[in-house]
Structure 1
Amino acid sequence: MEFESARKLCLIAVDELVLKHTRLLYERYMENERQLEALIDRKLREEETRDGMEEVINEDTEDQGLNSENLDNTNESILLRHRLDVSQSVQDTVGLLEAGDSIKMSTSSGGAFLRPPGRVSCAGVYGAGSGFCRVGDTMVMCFCSGNGDDIVKMALASHISDRLARIVNEEWTELGPTLVDIVQERSTICQLQAVDENLNSIVYVGVVAVVKQHNKLRVVYCHSTETFYFGFRGQTGTEIVLSKHNKPGTFVFGEYRA
């Protein structure tokens, strides 16, 4: 009995430490998002101001002794610094998938921002951050982003690929709701680490899957994160999806023909 009581106390203490650490990481992530949005807004306002100044300067270039070449060089320098500033602030997953005669997939996690020493991200675990499954003439490729530890526990990408490959049929059924159901059902197999601002456990992931069947491609996505950005190019052209969501833990979804 004493051993069991001590064991329970240890588990409670560990849970409290994990909860505090997760809350700290969540607050740091949200602060990083706010700083990035503020930076982009400030740069856009600066560019609008420069555009207005350029119009005034162009009306009176002779009196001011300025030329357009110097102005262009200045703008190019400012835009270069802008790109560098943003790239140094972004801590998101980056992935690339090519579904041609052969399948090529690659993904990486969002830097070291949420990575304690020794931690392996979901991108480094087979079947977690990326997954592939083929059933007959149907192939499914999947990328996942979000809370990496939860994604690893769920082996999410491989599970989604396997489930979608087995349920897709000849009819063009809407896969968005199905994708959400698969993720939510899978999330019940483990204790989630992701929490909302009230410390309630939530599913915090973004998923994009490509379904290839008889040389036809379908791109389906869902996410419960604040943002989820991706793009693709297929027979119908190029599409860039910039999806935002203000209720983390609940899902939005969509689907495209490629």
Structure 2
Amino acid sequence: MSDKLTLVHFGAGNHTDPPDKFRRLFRRAIRSTPASRPLFESQLAELVSISQTIEESPLTNTGLTSSVARDGSIQCDSSVFVYNRTTLKHTQSSLLANTSAHPTTDCAIQYVLQQNQNDLGLTAPVALVGKTDRTLELNGPMKQFYDKFKPALCKIDAVDRKTVASIVSDTIGVSLVGRTTVTTGVSSGGSLFKRPGRIGCSGVVGAGCYTAQQEGFLANVLCSGNGEDIIQMDLARTVCRHLLSNRHSGRMTCDLVAEAAYTAAEEVELRALDENYKPRLYVGVCGYFEAPDNLKCVFYFHTTETFVFGYSTSLKSEFLFSKLPKAQTATKGQMYVK
């Protein structure tokens, strides 16, 4: 069995680019070589390297390729979550409404800095707002798109919904699962034409990502989709706890994930809308589950049109461009890891 697993997702949404483009990006990301960074320990350095490769791609909605806010600004949310499998404790950091080419890297730097004790005894911040690189400007296809619809943004309903739906507006995530530590990073530029200052699920630990362990069972969860609903459901933490609470049930992991998502959705007023403007569950969940007997699996569940992800170990790599089957409201599955 491999002692290391890398899990990468490119978001749950409506991806219109060919699957092969994402497959190539996945391979390039997992093969990226971490730069020499004295600030980062090895797993965090690897997280930064993989995230930067993904965030620089026009296929994703984060960094410079983020969906634009109504005022034309680039605002990304990101989180880093590190879980110690020996002490069963975690540390975390978030950067909100941050203009950056590499939001996960910025968050990782903030994570390291907050570990240092302050001489005045002040508590280091877990989350910061508006750490902005003002030298970055909107350009390329997104600038053209924004300029086209800018006059209509004062009455947002004038923007063609089909056109808006064609623009990627989801979250990316990376998890590195080792024998002693699990390091996760998520980032996103949020929804297209969002209100400036809007915070998505990637900036909220417990919503966009979470890791927990109980009696040797490990659950690592990444979420994407409608950020407002994912935050309301505290979805990543909810799924983690449901998996661990039912660890001896004998049921398939993906079935438990779906059950957790549907149950959480019943407890909130959903804000995502279908074509008829009726509330709907619009989320994607993927992650990793491990039992003490070394049974390991990567799982997924999504109600979105597509969900793109993959995992890699020293023995095997698998990539999946999952499409929602016609006439179905959700799809799910799991892959056993060697």
- Asked whether the two chains share a fold, i.e. TM above 0.5, the reply is yes
CA contact (8 A) 1:98 1:104 kept: yes
Q: Deviations over 1:70-117 (max 9, x none)?
A: xxxxxxxxxxxxx97656564331110011121110111244525311
**Residue 221 of structure 1 is aligned with which of 287, 300, 311?**
300
Distance 2:215 2:259 in 1: 23
**Residue 122 of structure 1 is aligned with which of 176, 197, 201?**
201
Distance 1:114 1:241, change over 3 A: farther
- The answer to which structure, 1 or 2, has the higher relative contact order (CA under 8 A, 6+ apart) is 2
Distance 2:168 2:207 in 1: 22
**Match of 2:330?**
251
1:141 aligns with 2:208: no
Distance 1:210 1:84 in 2: 25
**Match of 2:256?**
178
Distance 1:177 1:170, change over 3 A: closer
Identity %: 30
When Rg is computed on C-alpha atoms for both structures, the one with the higher figure is: 1
CA contact (8 A) 1:202 1:249 kept: no
**Match of 2:288?**
210
Q: Deviations over 1:28-77 (max 9, x none)?
A: xx9xx5xx73x769x9xxxxxxxxxxxxxxxxxxxxxxxxxxxxxxxxxx
**Match of 1:99?**
177
Return 161-170 or 129-138, whichever deviates more.
Answer: 161-170
**Match of 1:157?**
236
| Gaps in structure 1 of 5+ consecutive residues | 1-29, 44-82
2:269 aligns to what SS in structure 1? coil
Distance 1:134 1:91 in 2: 31
1:160 aligns to what SS in structure 2? helix
TM-score under structure 1 normalisation?
0.63
Distance 1:158 1:132 in 2: 8
Distance 1:248 1:209, change over 3 A: farther
Q: How many residues align?
A: 183
CA contact (8 A) 2:242 2:256 kept: no
Cα-Cα RMSD: 2.8
Distance 1:170 1:194, change over 3 A: closer
Report the structure, 1 or 2, having the larger helix content: 1
1:233 aligns with 2:312: yes
Deviating 4+ runs (over 6 angstroms): none
2:285 aligns to what SS in structure 1? strand
Distance 1:202 1:255 in 2: 24
| Gaps in structure 2 of 5+ consecutive residues | 1-12, 22-55, 66-166
CA contact (8 A) 1:133 1:161 kept: yes
TM-score under structure 2 normalisation?
0.49
Distance 1:121 1:108 in 2: 9
Distance 2:222 2:248 in 1: 21
Distance 1:220 1:84, change over 3 A: closer
CA contact (8 A) 2:285 2:302 kept: yes
